[in-house]
Structure formats: structure tokens, C-alpha cells
Amino acid sequence: MKKTLAACTLALATALGVGACASSKTESQRNAGEFTDDAALTAKVKSAIASDVGARTAAAVNIETYRGVVQLTGFVDSQDQASRAVTAAQKVSGVKSVKNDLRLKS
């Protein structure tokens, strides 16, 4: 009887511990599916910029995606290149918005 009670107590403590871990997820954390979706979106945006603006520009642009929001950073040769990169990113299916932090080379 004592062994059964101890086993039940241990099982209950484990279940509560696991439940507490699962409920502590904050809004800023992504699950594996969201992470994979963001990675795929990043690749699609990089490809779109390479196709629309050029491989050289795409290589100079860093792309980060978080829950469908794409951030472009890096240095470009002209304002036209920056605008075209933003437009190319916005055209990609799944992109919710684009943050343009591209800077012009001096």
C-alpha cells in the first residue's frame, strides 16, 4: 500500500511539474512549426530579392523573420535597391510586414 501511495504521489508531482513547464510559455516564444515557417519564409525572401534586385544585393542584405514579420538589414548601393528589396520581400506569400533597416553605403 505504501509503495502504491508513493508511486501515485510521484506520478502526480511529475504531472504537475510537466504541466507547469508547458504553461510557462510566453507570447514571445515560437514553437517548432513557427520557427520552421519563419526559416522557410526567410529563404523565400532571400530568393525573391536575388531574383528581383540581384544576387549581389541579396548577399548584402541580412534577413530575419519572426512570426511572419521580415526585417531587412545591411548596406545597399542606392535607395532604389533598398526600395526594390522591400517590394520583393512584400510580394512573398506569408510575409505579414517588412521592417526596412537597410542603409546606404557612403
For helices 32-52 and 79-91, the axis angle rounded to 10 degrees is 130
Q: How confident is the model at residue 34 (pLDDT cuts 50, 70, 90)?
A: confident
pTM of the complete model: 0.71
Q: Which helix (H) or strand (E) holds 72?
A: strand 69-76
Alpha-carbon gap, residue 50 to 93, rounded angstroms: 16
Q: How confident is the model at residue 52 (pLDDT cuts 50, 70, 90)?
A: very high
Averaged pLDDT for residues 81-105: 97
**Which grid coordinates are listed for 102?**
537597410
Q: Is the pLDDT of residue 36 over 90?
A: no
In this prediction, residue 2 carries a pLDDT of 57
Domains and CATH numbers, the chain: 31-104 (3.30.300.130)
Q: How confident is the model at residue 23 (pLDDT cuts 50, 70, 90)?
A: very low
In this prediction, residue 15 carries a pLDDT of 58
**Which grid coordinates are listed for 12?**
502526480
Cβ burial 52-85 (10 Å sphere, 16+ → b, else e): ebeeebbebbebebbeeebbbebebeeeebbebb
